[in-house]
Amino acid sequence: MTRTLPLASLLTALSLPAFAAEVAFDDQWQTQKFPFQADNEYGLGGDTLTVASDDSVSLVYRRTPDLAGSETASWTWDVLEGVPATDLSVKGGDDRNLALYFVFSDPDTATELEDASLRSLLNEDDVRILVYVRGGQSAPGTVLDSPYLGERGKTIVLSGTGTGAEEVDVNLTEDLQDAFGTRPSELLGIAVSSDSDDTDSTVDATISGLTLK
């Protein structure tokens, strides 16, 4: 026998927020180093990632097969010490306090790249990458071509240099549409970086409460 939900129950179900998942900073994260560069120090602390960059640059990343359909993201980032303002469009001169990378592709490419490294993901022609940045000299909301990713990536400036904590909410679907004219359906992975090697400076920062929905 078919059972029908009462109208009140149906309306309640429809009004519930979409499922949200906090991404733990745990042993699923891996470090991606760069040749001939000193590495950052990352501290994996459950709901918080500590970031220390001292004339250095590297990334920490994880794959997200269980969060492939995520449409929004939120987090808090707190900068205690940071780099000076730089031109984020210039390769080799684009230090920034913090950056979060969200890597997307179509389902077929996602299957092909299931076991690929972060370096392979970032160099794959069919991926699209949003890079949300805290730092640089551009006004908040500026969208820049990535000097490293070519047509695959866009840098979105959320705030400039400076210290203090900021809460962030981004709409991944809308930003993909605005940046690339399409929304690839699969979120393949997330990366975090800090970059202080060009300005010989120091970053002391945290990211916490990284939540996808």
Residues 127-155 have pLDDT tens digits of 999 999 999 999 999 999 999 999 999 99
Mean pLDDT of the chain: 91
The answer as to whether 113 is a domain residue is yes
d(C-alpha 110, C-alpha 113), whole Å: 5
Paired tokens of 191: 């990366």
Q: Would you say residue 15 has pLDDT above 60?
A: no
Residues 205, 101, 44, 71: is their CA dihedral positive or negative?
Answer: positive
Q: What is the pLDDT of residues 193-205, one digit of tens each?
A: 999 999 999 999 9
The answer as to whether 41 is a domain residue is yes
Q: How confident is the model at residue 173 (pLDDT cuts 50, 70, 90)?
A: very high
φ, ψ (nearest 5 deg) of residue 179? -80, -35
Amino acid at residue number 32:
Q
The answer as to whether 83 is a domain residue is yes
Count of residues in the chain: 213
**Domain span at residue 73?**
19-212
| Mean local confidence (pLDDT), 79-101 | 96
Question: Can you give the CATH number for the domain in which 146 is found?
Answer: 2.60.120
Q: How many domains does the chain have?
A: 1
The answer as to whether 2 is a domain residue is no
- 70/7: higher pLDDT: 70
Q: In 53-79, which positions are buried (b, 16+ CB within 10 angstroms) versus exposed (e)?
A: bbebbbbbbbbbeebbebebbebbbbb
The answer as to whether 9 is a domain residue is no
Q: How confident is the model at residue 18 (pLDDT cuts 50, 70, 90)?
A: low
In percent, the amount of the chain with pLDDT more than 70 equals 92
> For position 13, what pLDDT does the model report?
41
The answer as to whether 4 is a domain residue is no
From the list 26, 100, 41, the residue with the least C-alpha distance to 70 is 100
C-alpha triplet 66, 23, 68: angle, nearest 5°: 25
